[in-house]
A and B are shown apart, each in its own frame.
Chain A
């Protein structure tokens, strides 16, 4: 039995109600480590190419990161892999918590297939699976559902739940873990609801043993000291990821709907840190995390859990001219309770307003309602999306459905990448996230490209030091970071491999964690946990392998270079008072479409992928030990 693992996969067939325990193959652990990697590898075999995401045959694969349940700081990320309805792409979404308790319940991975005849709660407690009737929970929101399940199964249980948005198969529905950690941007709520799963509960008492406990604790303690001692930690605990803006002294940080950059600081007075401090009560952490990014916030005399709470300012406040941060956070709370991805919902509502202003959507399409960039329109359309009423029914289907209804003239107003609202406006900051959101096989998700570029103004030497911590060789570091700047596209390949490796192990990739952990740290923890010695380079190679499998799975779904793109609006300047802010690279060179395409080519080349197609080569896949996937893709005429 491999150390550090629970060593079993649980197969659940909801149609028959049958379950099977399968030993976790050691080869799978050695090649793909766990979490993201093992999930992706399983997905390649288990997700039939071209499947309808809401079909019973589209599996949902849950996977705990290899270090979940240990004392390694910030080691709580776990993954939900499926084909997502918003993007029609296979993706591995991450959440915090749950994984450690899944391992304590006896399993590293769970594969959920089929469709139950009635709503169920999947209950995995102490090695036993039960499918409990959930008729009484269907229709309840995520908070009500989770509170009820904690009452039934104990408050130490970890709960993944979906809300009414998922039940109504809203394509941009997601789940929450323990009411606070978002999981499954792109439609996990709808996928689980299509199987008639309302919630998944895990609890157990099984121990996780590691090969060398003393060495493991020593390394974990050193990392804990490093994280707890970060000079900006107190600010981070309060503001979460939004702290980067304040640290970098970036005034005018808010982009209003991919159109306008606020420079007068008026929005900061409405939504800024001082306002937020009056609402903030206490931080909330995922298990093992000393740099919590979640919080309990007081809103209308209620204590409410939020992940990255200040994001409400840009998601709702600035976009729709809300008069207070509380008003913006109330929108997020409504989305959270109902299991609706608020970022995506705000993008769809803005798309509808844009089309209305362009007279493409008319009052006859909105039952007489005038669509404006205001809170009242948001309130009405959110309810209509959640209830699938009127135009809300179409918005619940996503950007593609709106374009299909209103034709090509609507398409140019759609600000989306692979069907998802973009993560980052690159005109505001052209960092690794800006690149990664376009090339990520899963769709618009920028976190894998997180790097020091997240904080503007970093110098080439700082990028070199970052790449050195990731184990990138000196000649590569010099090539990517010459004297006059840094090639963010080439750097993104290594940021993504790091993300992938951390995701296999279950380590968080928030900025403070990435700043403290090094590749050597991961190698030491991995060896002390598993007893298997792998060099840092071998671990990064495993990260690359896990990422490439996700790419390969999505090539089979028909994705290619044409899908890795920026929306048209990114090539128009942002309005910033009397100024215009054009798309520029990290070194401030103005970029047009040709230059952006060249950057994407740089990224593919750095990955060793074909520069024209943007796809891995047969030789590259074979070198990674993925020869059978190369053969599969070649046989299908895809590479």
Chain B
């Protein structure tokens, strides 16, 4: 996870909520993107019940989420 590369596209949240809840909703997503006002950056966090399906990783095209 490299939050410095996050551009705020939220495709991780959108794909996660569709995968987990069959709907588009930030509230139902197990990954959340928060704005860090310092330096205009974003923070990334995962819910405890995230089951590591990696759908968020496959939808991140900016290199903020990558598998080793």
Where the two chains meet, the residues of A that have a C-beta atom closer than 8 Å to any C-beta of B are: 69-71, 73, 104, 147, 150, 155-156, 205-210, 213, 216-217, 221, 224, 227-228, 282-290, 292, 296, 303-305
CB–CB A287/B9 < 8 A: yes
Residues of A within 8 A of B11 (CB): 71, 73, 224, 288, 290
Q: Is B45 an interface residue (CB 8 A)?
A: no
Please report which residues of chain B, range 22-61, place their CB below 8 angstroms from some CB of chain A when the two chains form the complex.
22-28, 34-35, 37, 39-41, 59, 61
CB–CB A208/B23 < 8 A: yes
CB–CB B18/A228 < 8 A: no
Known: A150-B35, A288-B9, A290-B61. A104 touches B40 (CB 8 A): no
Q: Write the chain B residue with the least CB distance to A295.
A: B7
Complex alpha-carbon distance, A201 and B25, angstroms? 18
CB–CB B34/A156 < 8 A: yes
CB–CB B15/A286 < 8 A: no
Residues of A within 8 A of B4 (CB): 282
14 CB < 8 A contacts A-B: A69-B14, A71-B14, A71-B59, A150-B37, A205-B26, A205-B27, A207-B27, A209-B22, A224-B11, A282-B41, A285-B8, A287-B8, A296-B40, A303-B40
CB–CB B7/A292 < 8 A: yes
Complex alpha-carbon distance, A303 and B14, angstroms? 27
Residues of A within 8 A of B26 (CB): 104, 156, 205
Q: Which residue of the partner chain, among B15, B25, B61, contacts A208 with CB atoms under 8 Å?
A: B25
CB–CB B17/A285 < 8 A: no
CB–CB B23/A288 < 8 A: no
Residues of B within 8 A of A290 (CB): 9, 11, 61-62
How many pairs of residues, A versus B, come closer than 8 Å at their CB atoms? 90
Chain B nearest Cβ from A178, distance in angstroms: 9
Complex alpha-carbon distance, A156 and B40, angstroms? 13
Q: Write the chain B residue with the least CB distance to A305.
A: B40
Q: Write the chain A residue with the least CB distance to B13.
A: A287
Known: A155-B37, A282-B5, A289-B9. A70 touches B21 (CB 8 A): no
Residues of B within 8 A of A286 (CB): 9
CB–CB A71/B22 < 8 A: no
Complex alpha-carbon distance, A288 and B18, angstroms? 13
Number of residues of chain B lying within 8 A (CB) of chain A: 28
Q: Which 8 residue pairs across A and B have the least CB separation, nearest first?
A: A155-B35, A205-B27, A207-B23, A207-B25, A285-B9, A228-B61, A285-B7, A71-B14
Q: Which residue of the partner chain, among A208, A224, A282, A304, contacts B24 with CB atoms under 8 Å?
A: A208
Residues of A within 8 A of B23 (CB): 207-210, 213
Known: A71-B18, A207-B24, A210-B24. A283 touches B62 (CB 8 A): yes
Residues of B within 8 A of A156 (CB): 26, 34-35
Known: A207-B17, A208-B23. A283 touches B28 (CB 8 A): no
Complex alpha-carbon distance, A38 and B22, angstroms? 27
Complex alpha-carbon distance, A216 and B14, angstroms? 12
Complex alpha-carbon distance, A207 and B22, angstroms? 10
Q: Write the chain B residue with the least CB distance to A529.
A: B24
CB–CB B25/A292 < 8 A: no
CB–CB A206/B25 < 8 A: yes
CB–CB B39/A303 < 8 A: yes
Q: Write the chain B residue with the least CB distance to A233.
A: B61
Complex alpha-carbon distance, A290 and B62, angstroms? 8
Residues of B within 8 A of A213 (CB): 18, 22-23
Known contacts A206-B25, A208-B24, A213-B18; 17 additional CB pairs below 8 A are A73-B11, A147-B37, A207-B21, A207-B27, A208-B25, A209-B22, A209-B23, A224-B11, A283-B62, A284-B40, A285-B7, A286-B9, A287-B9, A288-B9, A292-B7, A292-B62, A303-B40
CB–CB A287/B24 < 8 A: no
Chain B nearest Cβ from A451, distance in angstroms: 26
Q: Which of B17, B18, B22, B24 has the most CB of A within 10 A?
A: B24
